[in-house]
């Protein structure tokens, strides 16, 4: 039986349909997984209802399918996994790593992104507020990004971080680490806008005694004005009817230029070509 030691994933939040930037990320993680005979999973990160758009998860799944990005196994939905996040929180709490933070927004704003640990000293049993994890022990996180090379971070530059928000919702950092572990993910390839989060996730893997995946971050794709393509910037959704042209643009951004004669080919043929030519960085995501 064939064995694989590579499990990759694409993990969109259903906050809107895919645009060319998110499509390119999906293509890169798909090609990297398939080029190594790996599995490629899709996970819908629907744990933040206030930011979600009804129907977006179905739209994204349809967009992936129309672009020939066929995944392995069932799609995991984070909204179905709250029990597992609570279990991880209980484990961190049992290790004495969690505490309540009741600092208000204004105070946090004044701290400018580096939490000073003030609520570590709390002695009351307040039930309100966010749950933070204590950066205890060695705060230095080093890893080798498989696209960008060695990375080093001192977690004290951002401080103890939130694992359950003040509104009761599970924080992205915790959910993503728990699920990457549960799904046996070995390689996370995602946009560089998430690179800041990676050291915190590695810290959680360590504290929870879980195997840490390898990470690779691709440059974020920008529009002609140099702004990140995003839903906030109203980047247009990718249309299934233009799948072939969308894939060609995504491949070019990933440093691969399909030959003229492949223009207009079906998605599967374009991805097959992409697979033959995929190479890991340095990626030069270019402005369209
Ligand atoms: N759900 C996250 C997002 O759409 C991505 C998570 C990840 O790839 O780690 O921004
Ligand atoms: Zn606090």
Output the CA 3–ligand 1 centroid distance in Å. 27
Nearest ligand 1 atom to the CA of 10 is 8
Higher-confidence residue: 4 or 219? 219
Is residue 204 pLDDT above 90, yes or no?
yes
At residue 95 the predicted structure's pLDDT band, cuts being 50, 70 and 90, is very high
Nearest ligand 1 atom to the CA of 193 is 10
Where does ligand 1 bind, in terms of residues with CB under 6 Å? 11-13, 45, 176, 190, 194
Query: What was the pLDDT predicted at 230?
Result: 75
Judge residue 277's burial from the number of C-beta atoms within 10 Å of its C-beta, 0-12 exposed, 13-18 middle, 19 or more buried: middle
Please list, in sequence order, all residues whose beta carbon lies within 8 angstroms of the beta carbon of residue 198, skipping any fewer than 6 positions away. 143, 151, 188, 215, 217
Query: What was the pLDDT predicted at 280?
Result: 83
**CA–CA separation, 68 and 267 (whole Å):** 5
* Ligand with an atom nearest the CA of residue 129: 2
At residue 288 the predicted structure's pLDDT band, cuts being 50, 70 and 90, is very low
Each residue's pLDDT tens digit, 39-80:
999 999 999 999 999 999 999 999 999 999 999 999 999 999
Is residue 103 pLDDT above 60, yes or no?
yes
Beta-carbon neighbours within 5 Å of ion ligand 2: 101, 103, 118-119
- 250-267 average pLDDT score: 93
Higher-confidence residue: 254 or 126? 254
DSSP alpha helices (H): ranges in the chain? 20-35, 56-66, 82-94, 105-111, 172-182, 198-207, 243-253, 267-277
* Ligand with an atom nearest the CA of residue 117: 2
Query: What was the pLDDT predicted at 285?
Result: 47
At residue 283 the predicted structure's pLDDT band, cuts being 50, 70 and 90, is low
Instruction: State the pTM of this model.
Output: 0.94
- 27-42 average pLDDT score: 97
Lowest mean pLDDT among 36-50, 111-125, 252-266: 111-125
At residue 225 the predicted structure's pLDDT band, cuts being 50, 70 and 90, is confident
Nearest ligand 1 atom to the CA of 197 is 9
Pocket probe for ligand 1: among 24, 29, 33, 45, the residue whose CB has the most ligand atoms within 8 Å is 45
Query: What was the pLDDT predicted at 122?
Result: 79
Pocket probe for ligand 1: among 187, 190, 192, the residue whose CB has the most ligand atoms within 8 Å is 190
Higher-confidence residue: 204 or 230? 204
**CA–CA separation, 96 and 94 (whole Å):** 5
Output the CA 203–ligand 1 centroid distance in Å. 18
Residue 151's alpha-carbon distances to 174, 216, 278, 284, 288, in angstroms, are: 21, 11, 23, 19, 29
Domains of the chain from N-terminus onward = 7-80+179-277 (3.40.50.620), 82-89+96-172 (3.40.50.620)
Looking at every residue in the chain, the average pLDDT score rounds to 92
Percent of the chain with pLDDT over 70: 94
């Amino acid at each position: 039986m064939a064995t694989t030691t590579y499990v990759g994933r694409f993990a969109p939040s259903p906050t809107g349909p895919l645009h060319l930037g998110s499509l390119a990320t999906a293509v890169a993680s798909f090609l990297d997984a398939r080029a190594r005979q790996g599995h490629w999973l899709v996970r819908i990160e629907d744990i933040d209802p206030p930011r979600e758009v009804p129907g977006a998860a179905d739209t994204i799944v349809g967009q992936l399918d129309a672009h020939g990005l066929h995944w392995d196994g069932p799609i995991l939905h984070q909204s179905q996994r709250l029990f597992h996040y609570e279990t991880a929180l209980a484990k961190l709490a049992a290790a004495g790593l969690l505490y309540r933070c009741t600092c208000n927004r204004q105070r946090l704003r004044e701290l400018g992104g580096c939490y000073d640990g003030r609520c570590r000293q709390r002695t009351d049993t307040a039930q309100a507020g966010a749950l933070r994890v204590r950066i205890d022990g060695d705060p230095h996180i080093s890893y080798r990004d498989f696209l960008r090379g060695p990375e080093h971070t001192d977690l004290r530059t951002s401080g103890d971080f939130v694992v359950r928000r003040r509104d009761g919702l599970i924080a992205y950092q915790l959910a993503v680490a728990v699920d990457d572990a549960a799904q046996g993910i070995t390689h996370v390839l995602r946009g560089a806008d998430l690179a800041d989060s990676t050291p915190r996730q590695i810290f959680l893997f360590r504290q929870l005694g879980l195997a840490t995946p390898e990470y690779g971050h691709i440059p974020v794709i920008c529009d002609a004005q140099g702004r990140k393509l995003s839903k906030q910037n109203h980047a247009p959704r990718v249309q299934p009817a233009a799948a072939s042209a969308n894939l060609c643009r995504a491949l070019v951004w990933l440093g691969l230029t399909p030959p003229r004669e492949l223009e207009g080919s079906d998605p599967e043929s374009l991805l097959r070509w992409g697979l033959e030519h995929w190479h890991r960085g340095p990626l030069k995501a270019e402005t369209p």
